[in-house]
Structure 1
């Protein structure tokens, strides 16, 4: 069953290729949605996939790419939007 998560990642997550690496991981996991930087320095994702796919993505988000320093990941389930791809929003 497909689920939709709104995910916020806090820490040193901008300027460290977090969005591109998240896109690569999401595509590898066949997750649809988007990732973007927020003005406050956080990274925000909306992701759709099955529970196992989303768990793997959340696990990855808690670590992030090499130079990221993730302090906290939060998520909430929301209504499906039926994304077709996983994109970086600028």
Structure 2
């Protein structure tokens, strides 16, 4: 079953390769979507893919790369969105 989620990741998540690391993990898990910086210092991530793979990615987002410090993630399921790849912006 394909699902889409928007996640806001809070903490020390900008300037620590969080988006690039998210892209690498998403490609590894076969997930499309994006990761982008928000003006408030958070990172917004859209995950689109098979439920089990998205769950693995959500687990990873709770920790992020070793250079980051994730304080909190806010997960919201949204209507399925079709993306062909995972971009960073």
TM-score band, normalised by shorter chain? over 0.9
CA distance in 2, matches of 1:76, 1:66: 25
Give 2:25's aligned residue. Answer: 25
CA distance in 2, matches of 1:39, 1:87: 18
Q: Structure 2: state its 5+ residue gaps.
A: none
Deviation at 1:74, TM superposition (A): 1.3
Q: CA RMSD in A?
A: 0.6
Deviation at 1:18, TM superposition (A): 0.1
Q: Structure 1: state its 5+ residue gaps.
A: none
Give 1:78's aligned residue. Answer: 78
Deviation at 1:34, TM superposition (A): 0.5
CA distance in 2, matches of 1:81, 1:56: 19
TM-score computed with the length of structure 1 as normaliser: 0.96
Residue by residue, what CA displacement relative to the aligned partner does 1:23-45 show, whole Å, maximum 9, x if unpaired? 00000000010000000000001
CA distance in 2, matches of 1:81, 1:70: 26
Confirm whether residue 66 of structure 1 aligns to residue 66 of structure 2: yes
- Structure 1 stretches of at least 4 aligned residues deviating more than 2 Å after TM superposition: none
The number of aligned residues is: 89
Give 2:12's aligned residue. Answer: 12
